Amino acid sequence: MSKILVELQVNGESHELAIEPHRTLLEVLRENLGLTGAKEACDLGECGVCMVLMGGKPVLSCLVLAADAQGQEIVTIEGLAQGGKPHPLQQAFVEHGAIQCGYCTPGMIMTAKGFLNSHPAPTEEDVRKAIGNNICRCTGYKKIVEAIMDVASQNAVQSGEELAKV
């Protein structure tokens, strides 16, 4: 099969790749770039473990052709930490015990990051809806919601906003 040339911006770095046109963003991230934080599971966009940010918004990388990601800034879980320091969401997940097996954690964090980008002062109900398409079989979601609300609260304090009440 013939290949196409794509240029992807991933975690602030430019990558020029010759790939088959049918390859998904998830496949390219994992197999070509070695970024394995986005997981492969359902390949149907139903579980959320492959979530990355594209143009600042959460997308299911198993449903996006890599060629369609050209010209967009892609951020994976590997791109969140800065200077060896975990992103506040990563730190909050650890502090709240919002991880058990860890398989869904990268997708959950990327969903939360994209959500908080556009909803800086959410209610708990807003957070539950935002992560509603991410499947976690271990935690029961309570600690995940608490971790996300903690970061939202920290962000609100820093910006002088108030979180919405449920």
pLDDT per residue over 123-138, tens digit each? 999 999 999 999 998 8
What are the chain's domains?
4-79 (3.10.20.30), 88-159 (1.10.150.120)
159 pLDDT band, cuts 50/70/90, is low
Q: What is the pLDDT of residue 163?
A: 59
pLDDT per residue over 2-50, tens digit each? 999 999 999 999 999 999 999 999 999 999 999 999 999 999 999 999 9
Distance CA 26, CA 9 (A): 14
- Tokens 């002088």 belong to 160
